[in-house]
């Protein structure tokens, strides 16, 4: 294991020698310098981890050396050594980036403690930087895969939301489209990235427990409350709370959530203390909330409070240009995980993947490819590796071919074509939105999104 390298800079030979001997006994590698000029040369050539730097030096002063060291490498830890009476100078050194200062005459044991703490702080900073990098890799742009118009617009929207102070975001889309991934992307790209991201599935937690999960409870608040428990809003203070399947939240709980959203304060169950928190609420649903409002299953006021920033995730069948790109990502992922060597996809398999409707969206595609990589033995993924329903669906008469429309030589405006199809579907179904959506093989959310886009729905 590489030893920590310490540079001792002092114009007194006896001090340099004493520190060198003591630090070597502690297991450090030590180099010394008697002037600021020599110290800067060693910093450039040997890249020490830590400097013990005397303020009073012949030639350039210790403060000047400190400034230049920070220009060379801002990560180097610098501990200043100063004579009594030099407190103001030492404080200036701290402002310039010194980690700490030690007065002369110093105690070697105290010196050892300061050095140890400084190195531990440095290690902690490196660990934080490593975790940030991991988060960035995990939730950054490479994981939000797609080059279609839908995805370009979506990524642009997520970047803007992440950088904003928007306190509520509503993500709508079919099951399996990646709503939680988008929520994490927004969190880890924002100024809240160092604070917690906590998620809860509102459909998976019984209504009687959801309030306790979100707001917490005091000891003795109910029969099983044997200790005080902090809720997710309190635990995530400064960060993000992801409320998945918000459309399944019971009406009484919706009223309590709305109250919280008004001023970001709450009381634990059984408590009287008002607790303020700063959290971003990202909600997600695969339900048509407007329809749920009509059916008295979702509060109208909560809907408009949640959808300050609405994000729509298109189903995979609406972004077929991205299917092979996403597939390649999962193939590489599972080849690495299962030590396989699949180098490509056959043309018939590509055709089947692109033409299948993917009712389970990206989640279904991911599962299909995981199965294909595990069971396949060749270096090319072929049709036979795919589930029977995909093969049958793509080979059924009238389903595989979408080439009956011939592109005119002069080309077309795709936006106008899409608008005209929406209009025709509405007219032939007497403006029944559900039936019109089925005519175009769209989900109701996707269809209403286009209605709004083209001015058919206000």
- Which residues, other chains included, contact 216 with Cβ-Cβ below 8 Å and sequence gap of 6+? 228, 229, 230, 231, 233, 234, 268, 269
pLDDT digits (tens, 9 = 90+) for 228-269: 889 999 999 999 999 999 999 999 999 999 999 999 999 999
One domain for residues 305 and 340:
no
One domain for residues 306 and 352:
no
Under the banding of pLDDT at 50, 70 and 90, the label for residue 140 is very low
Pick the last residue of a domain from 283, 314, 345. Answer: 314
Tokens of 66: 């400190």
One domain for residues 167 and 202:
yes
Q: Is the pLDDT of residue 363 over 50?
A: yes
pLDDT digits (tens, 9 = 90+) for 287-346: 999 999 999 999 999 999 999 999 999 999 989 989 999 999 999 999 998 888 888 899
One domain for residues 109 and 239:
no
Position 265 scores a pLDDT of 95
Q: Is residue 406 part of a domain?
A: no
Under the banding of pLDDT at 50, 70 and 90, the label for residue 207 is confident
One domain for residues 153 and 285:
yes
Residue range of the domain that includes 14: 5-132
Q: Is residue 139 part of a domain?
A: no
Report the distance separating Cα 372 and Cα 382, nearest Å: 9
pLDDT digits (tens, 9 = 90+) for 85-136: 566 777 788 888 898 888 888 889 989 999 999 998 888 777 766 665 555 5
Position 1 scores a pLDDT of 57
Position 46 scores a pLDDT of 86
One domain for residues 178 and 290:
yes
Position 132 scores a pLDDT of 58
pLDDT digits (tens, 9 = 90+) for 20-44: 999 999 999 999 999 999 999 999 8
One domain for residues 153 and 128:
no
In this predicted structure, which of 263-272, 348-357, 393-402 has the lowest mean pLDDT?
Answer: 393-402
Q: Is residue 115 part of a domain?
A: yes
Position 442 scores a pLDDT of 80
Q: Is the pLDDT of residue 396 over 90?
A: no
Tokens of 113: 């403690």
Position 400 scores a pLDDT of 42
One domain for residues 240 and 181:
yes
Pick the last residue of a domain from 314, 347, 376. Answer: 314
One domain for residues 277 and 206:
yes
Alpha-carbon radius of gyration of the chain: 31
Position 136 scores a pLDDT of 53
One domain for residues 74 and 99:
yes
Q: Is residue 321 part of a domain?
A: no
Position 302 scores a pLDDT of 97
Under the banding of pLDDT at 50, 70 and 90, the label for residue 398 is very low
What percentage of residues in the chain have a pLDDT greater than 90?
Answer: 50
Q: Is residue 141 part of a domain?
A: no
- Global pTM? 0.59
438-446: long-range contacts at Cβ-Cβ below 8 A with a sequence spacing of 24 or more?
441/317, 441/357, 442/318, 443/174, 443/315, 444/288, 444/291, 445/172, 445/173, 445/174, 445/286, 445/288, 445/312, 446/174, 446/312, 446/314, 446/315, 446/318
60-64: long-range contacts at Cβ-Cβ below 8 A with a sequence spacing of 24 or more?
60/35, 60/36, 61/36, 62/9, 62/36, 62/93, 63/89, 63/92, 63/93, 63/96, 64/36
One domain for residues 62 and 189:
no
CATH of the domain at 110: 3.40.50.2300
Grouping H, G, I as helix, E, B as strand and the rest as coil, residue 398 is coil
Q: Is residue 301 part of a domain?
A: yes
Q: Is residue 66 part of a domain?
A: yes
One domain for residues 370 and 290:
no
| Number of domains making up the chain | 4
């Amino acid at each position: 294991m590489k030893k920590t390298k310490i540079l001792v800079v002092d114009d007194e030979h006896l001090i340099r020698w004493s520190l060198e001997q003591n630090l070597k006994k502690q297991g450090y590698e030590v180099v010394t310098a008697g002037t600021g000029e020599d110290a800067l040369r060693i910093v450039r050539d040997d890249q020490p981890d830590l400097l013990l730097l005397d303020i009073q030096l012949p030639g350039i002063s210790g403060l000047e050396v400190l400034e230049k060291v920070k220009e060379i490498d801002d990560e180097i830890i610098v501990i200043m050594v100063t004579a009594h009476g030099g407190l103001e100078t030492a404080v200036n050194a701290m402002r310039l980036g010194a980690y700490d200062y030690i007065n002369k005459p110093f105690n070697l044991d105290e010196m050892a403690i300061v050095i140890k703490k400084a190195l531990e702080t440095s290690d902690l900073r490196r660990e934080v930087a490593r975790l940030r990098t991991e988060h960035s890799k995990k939730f950054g742009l490479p994981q939000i895969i797609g080059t279609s118009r839908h995805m370009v617009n979506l990524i642009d929207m997520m970047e803007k939301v992440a950088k904003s102070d928007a306190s509520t975001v509503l993500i709508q889309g079919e099951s399996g489209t990646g709503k939680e991934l988008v929520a994490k992307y927004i969190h880890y790209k924002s100024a809240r990235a160092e604070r917690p991201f906590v998620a809860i599935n509102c459909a998976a937690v019984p209504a009687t427990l959801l309030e306790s999960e979100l707001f917490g409870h005091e000891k003795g608040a109910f029969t099983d409350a044997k200790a005080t428990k902090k809720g997710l809003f309190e635990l995530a203070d400064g960060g993000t709370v992801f409320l998945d399947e918000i459309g399944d939240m019971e009406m009484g709980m919706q009223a309590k959530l709305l109250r919280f959203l008004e001023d970001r304060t709450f009381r634990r169950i059984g408590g009287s203390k008002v607790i303020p928190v700063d959290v971003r609420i990202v909600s997600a649903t695969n339900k048509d909330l407007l329809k749920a409002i009509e059916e008295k299953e979702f509060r109208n006021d909560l809907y408009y409070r949640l959808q300050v920033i609405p994000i729509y995730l298109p189903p995979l069948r609406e972004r077929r240009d991205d299917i092979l790109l996403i597939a390649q990502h999962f193939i590489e992922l599972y080849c690495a995980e299962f030590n396989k060597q699949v180098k490509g996809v056959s043309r018939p398999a590509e055709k089947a993947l692109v033409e299948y409707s993917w009712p389970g969206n990206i989640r279904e595609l991911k599962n299909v490819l995981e199965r294909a990589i595990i069971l396949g033995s060749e270096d090319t993924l072929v049709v036979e590796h795919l589930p029977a329903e995909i093969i049958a669906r793509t080979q059924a008469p009238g389903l595989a071919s979408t080439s009956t429309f011939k592109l005119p030589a002069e080309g077309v405006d795709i936006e106008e074509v899409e608008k005209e199809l929406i209009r025709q579907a509405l007219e032939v179904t007497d403006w029944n939105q559900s039936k019109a959506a089925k005519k175009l093989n769209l989900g109701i959310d996707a269809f209403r999104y286009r209605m709004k886009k083209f001015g058919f729905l206000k």
